[in-house]
Amino acid sequence: MSAHSGYEIAVREYAALGEGPTWDADAQRLIWIDILGSRVHTYDPASGRRTVFVTEQHVGAAKPRAGGGLVLNLRDGVGLRDADGGFRWLHHEPVPGRRANDAAVAPDGSLFAGTMRYDEAPGGGTLSRFTADGLTETVLDDVAVSNGTGWSPDGRLMYYIDSPTRRIDVFDYESGRLPVDRRPFVTIEDGGGYPDGLTVDAEGGVWVALWEGGAVRRYTPAGVLDRVIGLPTPRPTACAFGGTDLTDLYISTARTGTETPHPLSGSLLVVPGAGKGLVQPAFAG
């Protein structure tokens, strides 16, 4: 196992709950969000150009769409934002006390989107699958804090995190169908933090950000810990590979709930040359 830091500051920011870094391969930019700030950020590492727009409600995830624009996992449902800023709901289902959280696009272009209660009550959240034509299927209906979701390079395994369980679970997956045979992949030990967002690399390694753990870890496809990236911020939230060759690991961080936040809490960090990522599919809608 190797351990090092090697991080750099990609974007110095004061996001309350930075989350969901996603590399947009077509636009060659990183998309990331501030859930509680209701903001969607973009960052072009080649030019340094940044954009930000404000959503009308808390936003749990923002992913590229195949036809341009973004699919947004919002407090009251899943919405489609066009490249010109137009908006419409794909699925509108407000539930008092509940909000959106992390989401991911499956190999077939469908969206797996999670929810959670603001009070993080057990069983108050869900994981659902949304297709481009608006079909909605419940994957899990007994979740506390729905978080990281990702797929193996061959698309046959789906990894998933419900953070309070301290586990990364794995399912068997077949494109276009709901995942089956949920089982533990990795359990984070007491004192190691809570697993939050994850990404899968080209070798099938699973990288996970550890909330209150101040680190990102990589596990081999066999579930063996083989790399730890120590961070100055206690609450990294998610990670994703980006850059022209998908070798730079971007890490989002949070300030919320910390009495004396680290100066970099809320910023977007990057570890150049950390590994080799996979091209992420765009939402088909």
Indicate which residues carry an active-site annotation: 196
Report the alpha-carbon distance of residue 225 to residue 232 in Å, rounded: 20
Q: Is 144 exposed, middle or buried (0-12, 13-18, 19+ CB in 10 A)?
A: middle
* CA separation for the pair 144, 275 (Å, rounded): 31
**R_g of the chain computed on alpha carbons:** 17
Q: How is 241-269 classified by DSSP, letter by letter? A: EETTTT-EEEEEEB-TT-SS--TTTTSEE
Residue type, 221: P
Tokens of 101: 């959280």
Cα 68-73-79 angle, rounded to 5 deg: 55
Q: Between the CA atoms of 115, 23, 254 and 76, what dihedral angle is there, to the nearest 10 degrees?
A: -30
